[in-house]
Amino acid sequence: KNQVEQSPQSLIILEGKNCTLQCNYTVSPFSNLRWYKQDTGRGPVSLTIMTFSENTKSNGRYTATLDADTKQSSLHITASQLSDSASYICVVSESGGSYIPTFGRGTSLIVHP
Amino acid sequence: GAGVSQTPSNKVTEKGKYVELRCDPISGHTALYWYRQSLGQGPEFLIYFQGTGAADDSGLPNDRFFAVRPEGSVSTLKIQRTERGDSAVYLCASSLRAGGLTSTDTQYFGPGTRLTVL
């Protein structure tokens, strides 16, 4: 069964600090991995999309990495801001016909001033 | 509009009633997706449209759930004989091309409809 596990479940950091969120998956065959940011009461917003051949992608202060061999991804947030407080969701899609993406439960990040 | 819109934003209904949830995708987007998100969970795939046709409806939990997209733009998710377990946020997303969920096209999400079944 395809699974996406995210850690930690929640994280509290001080404004200006860096943090790294983890995503492990068992989805196979792999097509792509996406990181989303979801503010409370809003729909998810795409941060990065990575395919098998990509091992890092940046979007401003967000940098995602992918190790397709170990089936792990991380999202690194640099110089955190109060507006980074949100849930960060990892989503992995299969290749080869199945259109069902597998979502992680998300990591809840709180940035304190 | 500038983004994906969903109406209503909140819907409270009684067990056994019928509800319709509407999604207006970004103009010109061929693909449209419905997801369901329970509290503290990630979204769960329900159904995906390419144009007017449902390309994959394998995520619909049972035959009380049905979705249509008759003109290839607006979509309606219909739930019959609602149950308390149907309470969740229903999210809609659209993407430009009909490449399926395996494509790398960005999916743009709406704000969701919060459904509460009493």
Residue of A nearest to B95 (CA): A46
- List strand residue ranges (DSSP E) for chain B, in order: 5-7, 10-13, 19-24, 31-37, 44-50, 53-56, 65-68, 75-79, 88-95, 108-109, 113-117
The confidence band for B14, taking pLDDT boundaries of 50, 70 and 90, is very high
Mean pLDDT of A64-74: 95
The answer to whether the CB atoms of B43 and A100 lie below 8 A apart is no
Q: How does pLDDT run across B75-112, given as a tens digit for each residue?
A: 999 999 999 999 999 999 998 876 555 567 788 999 99
**Cα–Cα distance, A67 to A76 (Å, whole number):** 14
Q: How does pLDDT run across A91-107, given as a tens digit for each residue?
A: 998 876 555 688 999 99
Asked if the C-beta of A101 comes within 8 angstroms of chain B's C-beta atoms, the answer is: yes
The answer to whether the CB atoms of B104 and A95 lie below 8 A apart is no
Q: What is the mean pLDDT of chain B?
A: 91
Asked if the C-beta of A106 comes within 8 angstroms of chain B's C-beta atoms, the answer is: yes
Give the whole-number percent of chain A exceeding pLDDT 90.
77
**pLDDT for residue A93:** 86
**Cα–Cα distance, B67 to B86 (Å, whole number):** 15
**pLDDT for residue B69:** 95
Residue of B nearest to A97 (CA): B102
Using an 8 Å Cβ cutoff, are A64 and A91 in contact? no
**pLDDT for residue B99:** 59
For residue A40 the two structure tokens come to 């409370």
Distance from CA of A26 to the nearest CA of B (A): 16
Output phi, psi for B84, to 5 deg.
-60, -30
Residue A44 has pLDDT above 90, yes or no: yes
Q: How does pLDDT run across A21-39, given as a tens digit for each residue?
A: 999 999 888 888 999 999 9
**pLDDT for residue B111:** 94
Residue A2 has pLDDT above 60, yes or no: yes
The answer to whether the CB atoms of A51 and B104 lie below 8 A apart is yes
